[in-house]
Amino acid sequence: MTIDPSPVGCHGRVTSTGGIRPGRTGEVMVAIRGGVEAFLARDVNGGEIRPYTEVVVVEYVPPRTVLVSPLNEESY
């Protein structure tokens, strides 16, 4: 059995206290591979995402960076 190392499609939460700001990298905790892992993160649209916002990973940039988009109620 192989485990897909890609976090694309996984959900997480912004954990950096400043959130994710335009042109800056923040941190997210992503539920992946049966646990939770920290990744550096940028907003996929280059905008701002507030701290503790739930997100979904839309792109993976190895080794530890992801592009994320905020989740909203329509995403569930």
- What does pTM read for this prediction? 0.87
Tens-place pLDDT, residues 39-56: 999 999 999 999 999 999
pLDDT in the model for residue 75? 45
Tokens representing residue 68 in the block: 């994320």
- Give residues with Cβ within 8 angstroms of 17, minimum separation 6: 51
- The Cα 4–Cα 72 span in angstroms is 26
pLDDT in the model for residue 76? 40
Domain ranges of the chain: 11-75
Statement: 11-75 belongs to CATH 2.40.50.140:
yes
